[in-house]
């Protein structure tokens, strides 16, 4: 055997599918043992030879399973080897439970030779299927035995194969400093060891390349029929050092020694000239170059170039994008200024920015402004004020009489009595009355340069100098006045002599006071009437029929009448009357009962007949009176009367009944028969009314309802019109019922009928909006409208509601923070301009950013001590590609109220994990986007209620007999409370005996936590 060579055995194996595989079996490990034996025999003379041979052994990519000596691994650990190592394990359905256990054994074997501690090697683990599950992070465990226990407890997911999503999660989350990765400047190697058995169901090459470019070394291990090109697109180069393929999971542990060699290799950055321009990072058996912040590796993998942040779609800058050391900013072309969104540009309004001093108009230019005058004016030498143009003075206008300036030129005018000739300059005298009569009713007469109006014979000119009237109308017409005719302008009026009044005919007259002028004969009072008079009586008297004399109205009250029941006044006397059911006796004063049968308990079974001062009992036809003189018995009614029974007559004790033959049933008239009642004999299913139709039936509805297409059930025609719905604003029909809605800016009260304006209390609200590919651009527009609708119901201002918005897909983008906008108008504009991301669905990553950043004071959230409600509305339309429970739970534990909205394929379990308690208040789900308006209505009401303070005054708490402590804002610190406890405090009366234990226990726990914090701080 030649030095430095290994022996390979080639086997041709045929699997059940008939696909041949070449399996190269490496004897490198046995070779090492052989050389080690020689070294023991011949001493350290051969040490250098062994090193060379071990180094030169070619690595076979296809490896057959062999036994690994775990004791040798323990003896050869990576002492003091600093690594950040993350395992990514395929947990898809194709990995059988037995094989999954093999993977766990492989991980446990790798752990044996690692020097695990926070200062040396840190280990994290991710498993993935359709989603990503972060089993533990780089900072979770400090000891090897704790990691081993976590690996053994790991459960198989058995779902899809989202390999790219898992790598993306590792780059964004697992290798973040917040999850335990050490900063890049410490030059600690970052390593991914990924195990997969199938083709990824998502793009992987681009994501893996991004991971490698960020300085992460990737070992790709394929099992079974994995495509080698896929493995190469994942693993680092050179591929022969970082890409491995084994036939099955039982052979995966054969790779252990190879990884021990690579992971425990010497730090090449320290011993070799690495040629890295900025940073060299040691990797197992090699090294990689990295760059300082703001730089990125060139194509040669060694030199660094400044990161061009502006290369990505110009970062949305309208004009220019300018790179800085670690970021970028937008800049505008000369003559433009940046808008508040820090991306778009506009021309500055110089006229509005300063006191331009222009008298009439200010006009903006590219970099300044100038003053301009309106038409008919020109600018004065001061370039600011204006004066009217005197066109008459500028030239020889040629006007014979007058020159008059206009806006653009001048016109010639003539003196009074003259008119302008056709040349527009000279004038001629005009015949004043020739063309018009100037309003003269009769005659227009020219007079010098003017005119006068005149009237025809028999008329005189009125004071207006234009119209005419007759001289004396009363003499010229037959006026018909009984007393006096008086001329009035164009007509006349009739008037009466003193003591008379004009009648309605306007001509004749009547006497004003007839009572004074005649002998009226009235006993009490005489009252003048139109052309006569009438007599009236004093109070308490009435006029007799003679129309002159009077009588006392109420004789009954003035005398002792003696009537037993009622006294009735007559003309000059009275009569006695009796109450209903009584008649007057012969003395005409007392009364007796008219109907004894009604006034006593006579006991007659059928009829009671009055008989003078007594009564007798009688029976109905077909009955005879029994001996007791009160009760009756039936004769043979069926024979004695025309009973009318259509089929059968059956005597009863005192009467009879009609019956029908077997196949018939009695109708409602109790006599005639019809076929049996199908409506009663079968399950007809009619919701309201079943109507028999001969041998069948039909369904009908009550008034105001119509039959549905099923022919059985009914719906209300118009519930909003047919019932007193009580909706204060809007009633909306909803199939069989109705719902009340409110106008914009209002929400429903608890009675679900009346409306109230959304409270203006302080509120910090963050939207977390799904921008994944499954949503689609059309539905994304609906979501934007939904957000705008919520904004309309809030009072947006720094002191009232502050609102922020995150959009997420495979990454999270802050559209605007809580402090960015102070008006709903600007906020809605930003929402309308929001661009759809259209990629994956990392809901857990979005919840993490919402919790860790969006509700910080640096992004505009008010401090906890301000007691401002913190609310997040999370919208999603499908299953998340990462874990949501951890970050949702953290947010809720820290007092953030989360409303979860799911549409379409959203998973109920995930929505329950996201939403605050109770779910019926904080979780909304609909099959499609048509229900968004209803969700918006309910959500606005919930948010408005959430912005109202529910804190109980401390004086109210002390008033409790047992001093039960209100917990919501008891300690003014960063400590917050879960919504479940907050609800308990709202729903329970703390002063009731049955609730004292709950609140006292809670208060005790809070005091204990507070005490611990102060002890630790000291």
In this prediction, residue 1006 carries a pLDDT of: 53
Q: Is the dihedral of CA 674, 676, 678, 679 positive or negative?
A: positive
Q: 900 and 874 in contact (C-beta within 8 Å)?
A: yes
Overall average pLDDT of the 608-618 stretch: 81
Here the CATH number for the domain that contains residue 532 is 2.10.25
Helix or strand (DSSP H, E) at 778? helix 777-792
Residue 754 clears pLDDT 80, i.e. is over it: yes
Report the candidate in 217, 226, 260, 261 with the shortest Cα–Cα distance to residue 244: 226
pLDDT at 57: 31
**Is the confidence at residue 436, as pLDDT, over 80?**
no
Are 483 and 576 contained in the same domain?
no
Torsion of CA 973, 975, 978, 982, to 10 degrees: -30
739 and 798 in a single domain? The answer is no
pLDDT value, residue 55 = 33
Q: Are residues 976 and 1008 in the same domain?
A: yes
Task: For residue 710, give the CATH number of its domain.
Answer: 2.10.25.10
For residue 875, what pLDDT band results from cuts at 50, 70 and 90?
very high
Q: Residue 1013: phi, psi to the nearest 5? A: -65, -45
- Rounded Cα distance between 848 and 882, Å, is 11
Q: Is the dihedral of CA 451, 454, 460, 464 positive or negative?
A: negative
CA distance 695 to 900: 56
Structural tokens at position 513: 């006071």
pLDDT over 60 at 343, yes or no: yes
Q: How many C-beta atoms surround the C-beta of residue 880 within 10 A?
A: 27
Domain identity same for 931 and 1005? no
Beta bridge partners of 541: 552
Together in a domain, 772 and 882: yes
First to last CA, the chain: 72
- Given a contact cutoff of 8 angstroms between Cβ atoms, the answer to whether 91 and 43 are in contact is no
Residue 116's pLDDT is 94
Other beta carbons within 10 angstroms of residue 116's beta carbon come to 21
CA distance 807 to 796: 21
Residue 444 maps to a domain: no
Average pLDDT in the 995-1012 region? 48
Q: What pLDDT does 969 receive? A: 28
- The pLDDT of residue 603 is 87
Q: Return the minimum-mean-pLDDT range out of 125-129, 464-468, 472-476, 916-920.
A: 472-476
Question: What pLDDT does residue 973 have?
Answer: 34
Q: Show which of 946, 972, 997 is a domain's final residue.
A: 946
Residues 708, 727: one domain? no
- Tell me, yes or no, whether 401 lies in a domain: no
pLDDT in tens, 365-418: 877 889 999 888 889 999 999 988 888 887 788 898 899 888 778 899 998 878
Closest C-alpha among 925, 774, 782 to residue 837: 774
H or E segment and range at residue 678: helix 678-681
CB neighbours of 1004 closer than 8 A, spacing ≥ 6?
none
Query: Which residues are CB-neighbours of 186 under 8 A, at least 6 positions away?
Result: none
Of 237-246, 508-517, 889-898, 957-966, which gets the smallest average pLDDT?
957-966
| Long-range pairs, 156-159, Cβ under 8 A, ≥24 | 156/91, 156/95, 156/97, 156/100, 157/91, 157/92, 157/127, 157/128, 157/129, 157/130, 157/131, 157/133, 158/91, 158/92, 158/93, 158/95, 158/129, 159/91, 159/92, 159/93, 159/129, 159/130, 159/131
Alpha-carbon gap, residue 206 to 438, rounded angstroms: 95
Mean pLDDT of the chain: 79
Please state, in angstroms and as integers, the Cα–Cα distance from residue 159 to each residue in 192, 842, 911, following that order: 22, 17, 19
Name which of 5-14, 414-423, 757-766, 792-801 the model is least confident about: 5-14
Q: What is the pLDDT of residue 759?
A: 59
Residue 980 shares a structural domain with residue 913: no
The pLDDT value recorded for residue 968 is 28
Domain co-membership, 501 together with 528: no
Last residue of a domain, one of 60, 87, 111: 60
CATH code: domain of residue 244: 3.40.50.410
272 pLDDT more than 70: no
Do 569 and 605 lie in a common domain? Answer: no
Q: Lowest mean pLDDT: which of 330-344, 411-425, 588-602?
A: 588-602
Tokens 């003269």 belong to 440
pLDDT of the residue at 77: 64
Confidence of residue 844 (pLDDT cuts 50, 70, 90): very high
| Structural domain for 577, as ranges | 555-593
Range in 668-677, 724-733, 845-854 with the lowest mean pLDDT: 668-677
pTM of the model: 0.34
Same domain? For 229 and 195 the reply is yes
Q: What's the rounded Cα separation, in Å, for the pair 836 and 815?
A: 11
Is residue 388 one of the residues assigned to a domain?
Answer: no
Q: How far is CA 85 from the centre of its chain?
A: 45
Mean local confidence (pLDDT), 897-903: 91
Residue position matching structure tokens 């009619």: 686
| Domain C-terminal end among 534, 569, 593 | 593
Q: Does 868 lie in the same domain as 741?
A: no
Please report whether residue 706 resides in a domain: yes
Would you state the pLDDT for residue 945? 61
Express each pLDDT in 184-226 by its tens digit: 888 899 999 999 987 888 889 999 999 998 889 999 999 988 8
pLDDT of 140 strictly over 80: yes
- 995 or 906, higher pLDDT: 906
Summarised one tens digit per residue, pLDDT across range 968-991 is 222 233 333 333 333 333 344 444
Per the model's pLDDT, the better-predicted residue between 969 and 678 turns out to be 678
Q: Residue 419: pLDDT above 70?
A: yes
Distance CA 40, CA 397 (A): 130
pLDDT (mean) for 756-774: 84
And the tokens for 244? 């491995």
Are 161 and 123 in contact by the 8 Å Cβ rule? The answer is no
The reported pLDDT for the residue numbered 178 is 93
Residue 269 domain-assigned?
no
Closest CA to 113 of 149, 72, 147, 141: 72
Whether residue 311 is contained in a domain is answered as no
Same domain, 828 and 976: no
pLDDT above 70 as % of the chain: 82
Mean per-residue pLDDT for 115-131? 94
Indicate the DSSP class of residue 313: G
Does 276 score more than 90 pLDDT? no
Which residues contact residue 279 at a Cβ distance below 8 angstroms, ignoring those fewer than 6 apart? Answer: 184, 185, 187, 289, 290, 291, 292
Are the C-beta atoms of 808 and 770 separated by less than 8 Å? Answer: yes
Max alpha carbon distance in the chain (Å)? 173
Who contacts 535 (Cβ-Cβ below 8 Å, separation ≥6)? 520, 521, 522, 523, 524, 525, 526, 527, 543, 547, 548
Residue 662 lies in a domain: no
Q: Residue 251: pLDDT above 70? A: yes
| Cα separation, 992 vs 412, whole angstroms | 99
pLDDT at position 916: 93
Backbone angles phi, psi at 625, to 5 degrees: -75, 135
Query: Is the model more confident about 893 or about 405?
Result: 893
Locate the DSSP E strands across 332-417: 337-338, 345-346, 361-364, 369-372, 377-379, 386-388, 402-405, 410-413
Element (H, E) at 190: strand 190-196
CB of 617 closer than 8 Å to CB of 605? yes
Q: How many domains does the chain have?
A: 10
C-alpha Rg value of the chain to the nearest Å: 54
- The whole-number pLDDT of residue 610 equals 82
Evaluate if residue 25 carries a pLDDT over 50. no
Of residues 158 and 68, the one with the higher pLDDT is: 158
Question: What pLDDT is recorded for position 775?
Answer: 87
Per-residue pLDDT averaged across 420-434, rounded?
A: 83
Give the integer Cα–Cα distance in Å for 487 and 755. 70
Q: Evaluate whether residue 22 is within a structural domain.
A: yes
């Amino acid at each position: 055997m030649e030095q430095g060579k290994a022996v390979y055995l080639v086997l041709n194996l045929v699997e059940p599918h008939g696909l041949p595989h070449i399996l190269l079996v490496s004897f490198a490990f046995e070779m090492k043992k052989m050389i080690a034996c020689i070294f023991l025999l011949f001493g350290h003379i051969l040490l250098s030879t062994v090193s060379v041979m071990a180094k030169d052994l070619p690595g076979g990519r296809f490896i057959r399973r062999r036994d690994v000596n775990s004791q040798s691994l323990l003896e050869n650990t990576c002492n003091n080897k600093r690594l950040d190592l993350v395992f990514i394990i395929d947990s898809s359905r194709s990995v059988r439970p037995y094989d999954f256990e093999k993977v766990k054994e492989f991980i446990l074997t790798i752990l044996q030779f690692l020097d695990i501690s926070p200062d040396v090697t840190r280990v994290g683990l991710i498993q993935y299927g359709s989603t990503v599950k972060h089993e533990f992070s780089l900072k979770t465990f400090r000891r090897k035995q704790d990691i081993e226990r976590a690996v053994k407890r790991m459960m198989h997911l058995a779902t899809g194969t989202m390999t790219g999503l898992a790598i993306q999660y590792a780059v964004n989350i697992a290798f973040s400093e917040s999850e335990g990765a050490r900063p890049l400047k410490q030059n600690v190697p970052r390593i991914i060891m990924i195990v997969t058995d199938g083709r990824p169901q998502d793009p992987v090459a681009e994501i893996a390349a991004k991971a490698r470019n960020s300085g992460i070394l990737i070992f790709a291990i394929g099992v079974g029929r994995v495509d080698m090109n896929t493995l190469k697109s994942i693993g680092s180069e050179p591929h022969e050092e970082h890409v491995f393929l084994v036939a099955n999971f039982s052979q995966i542990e054969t790779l252990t020694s190879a990884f021990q060699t690579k992971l425990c290799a010497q730090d090449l950055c320290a011993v070799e000239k690495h040629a890295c321009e900025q940073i060299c990072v040691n990797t197992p058996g090699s090294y990689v170059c990295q760059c300082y912040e703001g730089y990125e590796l060139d194509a040669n993998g060694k030199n660094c170039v400044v990161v061009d942040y502006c290369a990505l779609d110009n970062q949305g800058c309208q004009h220019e994008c300018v790179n800085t050391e670690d970021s970028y900013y937008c800049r505008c072309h000369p003559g433009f200024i940046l808008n508040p969104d820090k991306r778009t540009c506009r021309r500055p309004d110089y006229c509005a920015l300063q006191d331009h001093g222009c008298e009439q108009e200010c006009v903006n230019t590219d970099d300044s402004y100038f003053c301009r005058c309106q038409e008919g004016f020109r600018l004065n030498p001061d370039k600011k004020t204006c004066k009217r143009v005197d066109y008459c003075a500028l030239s020889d206008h040629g006007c014979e009489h007058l020159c008059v300036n206009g806006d653009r030129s001048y016109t010639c005018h003539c003196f009074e009595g003259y008119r302008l000739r056709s040349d527009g300059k000279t004038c001629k005298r005009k015949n004043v009355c020739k063309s018009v009569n100037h309003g003269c009713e009769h005659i227009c007469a020219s007079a010098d340069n003017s005119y006068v109006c005149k009237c025809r014979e028999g008329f005189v000119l009125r004071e207006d100098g234009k119209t005419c009237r007759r001289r004396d109308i009363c003499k010229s017409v037959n006026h018909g006045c009984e007393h006096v005719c008086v001329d009035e302008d164009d007509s006349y009026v009739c008037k009466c002599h003193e003591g008379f009044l004009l009648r309605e005919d306007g001509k004749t007259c009547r006497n004003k006071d007839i009572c004074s002028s005649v002998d009226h004969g009235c006993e009490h009072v005489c009252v003048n009437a139109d052309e006569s008079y009438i007599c009236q009586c004093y109070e308490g008297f009435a006029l007799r029929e003679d129309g002159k004399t009077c009588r006392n109205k109420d004789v009954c009250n003035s005398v002792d009448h003696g009537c037993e029941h009622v006294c009735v006044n007559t003309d000059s006397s009275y009569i006695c009357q009796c109450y209903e059911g009584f008649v007057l006796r012969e003395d005409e004063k007392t009364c007796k009962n008219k109907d004894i049968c009604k006034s006593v308990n006579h006991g007659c079974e059928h009829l009671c007949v009055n008989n003078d001062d007594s009564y007798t009992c009688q029976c109905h036809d077909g009955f005879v009176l029994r001996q007791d003189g009160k009760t009756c018995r039936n004769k043979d009614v069926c024979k004695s009367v025309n009973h009318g029974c259509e089929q059968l007559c059956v005597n009863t004790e005192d009467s009879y009944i009609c019956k029908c033959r077997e196949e018939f049933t009695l109708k409602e008239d109790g006599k005639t028969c019809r076929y049996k009642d199908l409506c009663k004999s079968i399950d007809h299913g009619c919701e309201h009314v079943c109507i028999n139709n001969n041998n069948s039936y039909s369904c009908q509805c009550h008034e105001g309802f119509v039959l549905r297409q099923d022919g059985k059930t009914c719906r209300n025609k118009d519930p909003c019109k047919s019932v007193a719905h009580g909706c204060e604003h809007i009633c909306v029909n909803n199939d069989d019922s109705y719902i009340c809605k409110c106008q914009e800016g209002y929400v429903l009260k608890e009675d679900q009928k009346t409306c109230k304006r959304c409270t203006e209390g302080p509120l910090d609200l963050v939207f977390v909006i799904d921008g994944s590919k499954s949503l689609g651009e059309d539905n994304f527009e609906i979501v934007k409208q939904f957000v705008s609708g919520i904004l309309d119901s809030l009072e947006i201002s720094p002191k009232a509601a502050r609102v922020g918005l995150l959009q997420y897909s495979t990454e999270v983008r802050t559209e605007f923070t809580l402090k960015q906008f102070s008006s709903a108008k600007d906020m809605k504009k930003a929402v309308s301009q929001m661009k759809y991301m259209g990629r994956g669905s990392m809901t857990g990553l979005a919840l993490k950013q919402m919790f860790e950043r969006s509700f910080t004071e640096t992004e505009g959230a008010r401090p906890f001590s301000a007691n401002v409600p913190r609310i997040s509305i999370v919208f999603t339309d499908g299953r998340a590609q990462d874990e949501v429970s951890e970050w949702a739970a953290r947010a809720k534990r820290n007092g953030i109220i989360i409303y979860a909205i799911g549409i379409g394929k959203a998973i109920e379990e995930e929505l329950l994990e996201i939403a605050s308690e109770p779910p019926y208040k904080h979780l909304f789900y609909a099959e499609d986007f048509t229900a968004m308006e209803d969700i918006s209505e309910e959500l606005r009401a919930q948010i408005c209620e959430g912005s109202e303070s529910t804190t109980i005054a401390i004086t109210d708490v002390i008033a409790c007999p047992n001093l039960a402590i209100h917990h919501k804002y008891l300690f003014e610190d960063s400590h917050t409370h879960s919504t479940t406890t907050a609800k308990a405090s709202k729903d329970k009366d703390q002063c009731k005996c049955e609730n004292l234990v709950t609140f006292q226990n809670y208060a005790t726990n809070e005091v204990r936590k507070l005490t611990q914090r102060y002890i630790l701080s000291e």
